[in-house]
Structure 1
Amino acid sequence: MSLGRKFLYRKFSKSFRELTQPLREEAAVEDEEGGSYPSCGADTDRAGSPEAAAAYGQSWGTMLPDLLGEIIRRVEASGDQWPQRQSVVACACVCKRWREVTKEIVRAPSNCEKITFPSCLKQPGPNGFSHQCLIRRNIKKSTFYLYLALTPSFTEKGKFLLAARRHRHGAYVEFIISHDLDDLSQRSNAYVGKLRSDFLGTSFTIYDSQPPHSGARPSSSRASHRFASKQICPQVPAGNFEVGHVTYKFNLLKSRGPRRMVCTLRCPSREEAYPEREKKTNVQSDTEMKKSASSSSSSYGSTVLRNKAPRWHEHLQCWCLNFHGRVTVASVKNFQLVATVDYRQPGGRGDENKVLLQFGKVGEDTFTMDYQQPLSAFQAFAICLTSFGTKIACE
């Protein structure tokens, strides 16, 4: 047993024992009444010996299926936000069987409005409800940190989600995005994706480290390669996959007001974002499977976002937007994005009154980021990173 496994066993054995005691008593009564549940310690074929069978029967992986599912359901329902959500992660770390059951029970963020695992960072956010996040900047180290806000206060950090570091390669700027606070390397297993600008700093390309959908091909450009030499591990993609573009309109003389930006993103549908769940919950006939296969290319469509036009305030003599108290400092970086093209809507037309992403300044190095479906935390963070830095051609 590894050291991490021993730590988790000691930490949660007592709480799980207290939680499952009533359920174990019910299972014992059913066994005495002629129930069909097998004895956990009687599997001598798999264990090989009575001593090994006894040890195998005491492991968490041999728990009754109904009992195991009920435990994870209660743990999942016990905490709506962090730090209580760490109990769900602890359940998934017990063993492979617990991890599979946990994935089946814990729903996607678009349905449960909760962020639990790192995979949730690339899944669409909630519908009709925004995840409120904070971005903290470290100018000296050129790093940016994304936190999930747990309270309305702007002073508390919250739950860490993503980190990014800015690098300059000649005239180009890159942001390496990782889900590790300290390891911000493109060769790391914690690497999530990156953002790359052109030499003017007005056009950005968002790259994902993983294929965003089935059949996706990595970008052929040299700048999108993760490794200079041969790929070391076949499980780690050597290239990056383009998932979006952000463009700032030229405005040298400021004759058109504040910054104007357009974002074109490849946003997955619910089936593409959570394929394993859909395979288990949806039983399709042969004709339905053929139709879904023919329309698989359209299930991964493009969404076009543009910044909401601010209004000129005569009394304050400045451009204003209503951030509903989430932005407190005036800055050229502040923006709100609405959808002009949304493939999920009938006719593909987006609702220009619904703000899908807003970003603004609340302190010297503190910013707020609120996003919702169809954007993911990774996409929203990458878009907000484009706002940092001086853009001579836009202001």
Structure 2
Amino acid sequence: MSFRSLIQEMRDEFGSISRHSLRSRSHRSGNAPREAAVGSSEEALQQSCWARLPPELLREVLVKIEASESWWPARRDVVACAGVCRTWRGIMKEIVRVPESSGKLTFPISLKQPGPRDGTLKCFIKRDRTTQTYYLYLGLTEDQTFSEQSLLSMMLIPHMMERWFLRVGLHVRFVQTRGPRRMNCVMDSIPASAVEEGGKAPTQTEFPLSSLDSFPSIPFFRSKSAWIDSSTSQSSTEKEERLVLKNKSPRWHEQLQCWCLNFRGRVTVASVKNFQLVASDDNGPGNQEQDKVILQFGKIGKDLFTMDYRYPISTFQSFAICLSSFDTKIACE
């Protein structure tokens, strides 16, 4: 049996379980507790042949499913398996690797985890001028195609942006200059050593359950349980220098009479908003690591932009930095 037919069989099985659960709910009164309906669904699941699989065999099946679905939209089957029950979700959370090592975005928490060390994650930003809303999409292939479903969306309102930047844990400053824009991004939650060989950036593994996340003045990572290694990450940025990103300086092209940067085919339209961010020289002695482009942003259409990022920053942080480029900079224009 192929993995695709295996997944289809599981979907059919779980679909019948859901229908059985709905029929059970329809026989209950409107005031019946929600726990009773959930209990009915769990009872139906226990009767499924998949629930009776030995843990070792179940894990082997899920490992093969995860390995066979390398990219979206097929990777939604991995997420579907994680939503079956607590046991399946626990196994899937162990199997699915973080973007740092896998180069893949799978669960929602992946958006707040550092990007891959080897290579970049390619995304797109689409602008809606009528509502001043920006949508982030995940790139599906090496060419200019992207997913139909947005990962994040944000309205560009100066007050809201300021609060969001504090929540993400970064400060973006545009330096006044007669030439191209100059950017400095201070990453409050990432130590400067993260860009060095063997360096580590904080990796969030779960969303906080409390309402503290609604207060932007509180540091971005709030729960010790949300860290992979709390003993080494606790107050790391207080003891170490913070990571500072700066835009890579473009070169002047005499024939074209303009400033140029090599975006390796990912940017096709000239714009003052285009930039590439690298680690600042102030983070330590110059080396090849600091020559790597950590975040690249550029225009490819009237309201379409590319966003490519890598370790040690996350999708969430990259999106916030790119949005800062849309606002008008009176001192820089």
Q: TM-score, normalised by structure 1?
A: 0.61
CA contact (8 A) 1:342 1:349 kept: no
Structure with the bigger percentage of strand: 1
AA paired with 1:154?
Answer: Q
Give the drift of 1:338.
0.3
Alignment of 1:243-254 (within 5 A): 243-251=169-177, 254=178
* Partner deviation per Cα, 1:79-132 (whole Å, 9 max, x = no partner): 110011101000011011111111011111111111101100000100030011
CA contact (8 A) 2:296 2:308 kept: yes
**Which residue is equivalent to 2:103?**
113
Alignment of 1:28-43 (within 5 A): none
Question: Once the two structures are aligned, what percentage of the paired residues are identical?
Answer: 49
Quick one: which of 237, 249, 255 aligns to 1:309? 249
AA paired with 1:314?
Answer: E
AA paired with 1:196?
Answer: E
* Partner deviation per Cα, 1:231-277 (whole Å, 9 max, x = no partner): xxxxxxxxxxx6110001123xx2xx11101001123776841568x
Structure 2 CA distance for aligned equivalents of residues 328 and 13 of structure 1: 41
Quick one: which of 203, 208, 212 aligns to 1:273? 203
* Partner deviation per Cα, 1:291-333 (whole Å, 9 max, x = no partner): 9737732278621100001111111111110101111110000
5+ residue gaps, structure 2, are: 1-5, 14-41, 195-199, 207-228
Structure with the bigger percentage of helix: 2
AA paired with 1:312?
Answer: W
SS at match of 1:196: helix
Alignment of 1:93-242 (within 5 A): 93-154=83-144, 156-157=146-147, 160-167=150-157, 173-175=158-160, 195-196=161-162, 206-208=165-167
Taking a change above 3 Å as real, the CA distance of residues 117 and 295 of structure 1, as seen in their structure-2 partners, is: closer
CA contact (8 A) 1:147 1:161 kept: yes
Structure 2 CA distance for aligned equivalents of residues 342 and 96 of structure 1: 47
* Partner deviation per Cα, 1:46-94 (whole Å, 9 max, x = no partner): xxxxxx9997353644431111111110110011100111010000110
Alignment of 1:348-363 (within 5 A): 351-363=289-301
Structure 2 CA distance for aligned equivalents of residues 391 and 206 of structure 1: 17
CA contact (8 A) 2:134 2:153 kept: yes
**What RMSD in Å do the two structures reach over aligned CA positions?**
3.2
Greater Cα radius of gyration, structure 1 or 2:
1
Structure 2 CA distance for aligned equivalents of residues 139 and 153 of structure 1: 25
AA paired with 2:235?
Answer: S
Residue 392 (str. 1) matches residue 305 (str. 2): no
Q: Which has the higher contact order (CA 8 A, sep 6+)?
A: 2
Give the drift of 1:196.
1.1
CA contact (8 A) 2:109 2:204 kept: no
Alignment of 1:372-387 (within 5 A): 372-387=310-325
SS at match of 2:91: helix
CA contact (8 A) 2:202 2:233 kept: no
5+ residue gaps, structure 1, are: 1-10, 19-51, 168-172, 176-194, 198-204, 209-241, 277-290
Taking a change above 3 Å as real, the CA distance of residues 325 and 13 of structure 1, as seen in their structure-2 partners, is: closer
Taking a change above 3 Å as real, the CA distance of residues 86 and 196 of structure 1, as seen in their structure-2 partners, is: same
Give the drift of 1:376.
0.4
Quick one: which of 324, 332, 344 aligns to 2:272? 332
CA contact (8 A) 1:206 1:382 kept: yes
Structure 2 CA distance for aligned equivalents of residues 303 and 55 of structure 1: 48
Taking a change above 3 Å as real, the CA distance of residues 362 and 12 of structure 1, as seen in their structure-2 partners, is: same
CA contact (8 A) 1:334 1:361 kept: yes
SS at match of 1:100: helix
Taking a change above 3 Å as real, the CA distance of residues 159 and 341 of structure 1, as seen in their structure-2 partners, is: farther
Residue 14 (str. 1) matches residue 1 (str. 2): no
SS at match of 1:373: coil
CA contact (8 A) 2:190 2:201 kept: no
Q: TM-score, normalised by structure 2?
A: 0.71
